[in-house]
Structure 1
Amino acid sequence: MDKTIYVINPNCLVEVTRGLKASLAPFEWNAGPRIECMTLRDGPPGIQTEQHVESAALLVGRLVADLEQTRGDQVGAYVIACFSDPGLYLARDQTRKPVLGIQECGLLTAMSLGQRVGVIAILKTLMNRHARAYAAAGIASRIAGELPLSLGVAELQDEGTTRARLLEVGRRLRDEYGSEVLVLGCAGMPQYRAWLEDQLAVPVVDPTMAAVAMALGRVLDAG
């Protein structure tokens, strides 16, 4: 198939994009759509505040518009790889192709795996934004709780610290909040998903993987 799914990392950290590319390798096969991971090089160094979200949103919309003009025939779908879904609706205005935000897709996948969903955020600064999104989507009653790692996007590359915090926060969400399934609330943690699932014995959803799986379904269905 000659279609490409463009996975947009809306921050400027190329190491995050490399991690996305590595985690999504199992989703590619010879006859299937290509998956291209892109770094928003003018984006902020991590989406960690409301200002970061708003500034990245315009850049995401502009990138999608540019890709539609330059590569429109080969585009199968777009995935915005940030849990705040920056520019999701703006990007959808630029194209008739599917545009998937990883927060929406991650939560939809999690709700198919358990009744009570726990979200592992990276920082407290965006948790109010997330809560508003859950309420707007009508799924707030399914969110058992959300807790932060208190680590920035760049700090997620420190494997020892990140694993320790993931285990601590994940256990709290499981044991104290009754979470039956956990969602990683950032695109920068796919390398920890399987390990955390084994440690906690509950399903753990990486939202970018969930979004790309949905995008594959849409692209293949479209032929």
Structure 2
Amino acid sequence: MSFETLNVSIAGGVCRIGFNRPDAGNAINDRMVEEFAQALETCARGTGADGKPVSIVVIEGNGEVFCAGGDFKAVSETGSAGDPEPLYDIWRELAQGPFVTISLVKGRVNAGGVGFVAASDIVIADKSASFGLSELLFGLFPACVLPFLVRRIGHQKAHYMTLMTKPVSAADALGSGLVDVLADDAETALRQHLARLQHLNKQAIARYKAYMNACSGSADRDKASALEANRAFFQIQRSFPGSAVMSRN
């Protein structure tokens, strides 16, 4: 696949999507949103050249920046930030789509860049990573980022991060839950995760994420859906013996 603002490759059931606007700090513009949506659609529906369905999506930056957020230069030139819905839908697809999404973070993440991280299933960062929400300094606030950030780190921590506007270190992000793994060598950590995650079936991932995204965490409210999902799974097992291996590990 050929893109202007992204580097995209698919192999072994893994799609790597790299932001590729280094001169603009990998800032988000309309073209990047269009291309990212196209890449995710391919991941959801397609396969790589080897015929394997895409079950893992890795998002990464380049150089010293993961993603600096919205392209304010483009906004100042056009006088409009455009429609936020397509970008929000990308983050929702990362959170809910039929694949495991991993943000591999090196360097600075700001504003809308935090949306990509917060929407990911797994976040692996090295010690150079920092995460900031600077919007309130400009009289704005990260309305579209916050639903994903609150889901990941909780209401008060997201509230504090938004109010303070200062970058959060990789270590502090690990402590808050924004980062899952802090590694000296993020690429090595990614390879270790992929070695495990590539054993997962895409249909199982899709079913699990659909269930997990609807899960409220309340034993009472979730009882009906939990029982339904459990019964449906074992119905599949009876219909297709040997379709999955039960393990205590």
Q: TM-score interval w.r.t. the shorter chain?
A: 0.3 to 0.5
Name the one with the larger helix percent: 1
Higher-RCO chain (CA-CA 8 Å, sequence separation at least 6): 1
Larger Rg: 2
Tell me the TM-score normalized by structure 2.
Answer: 0.35
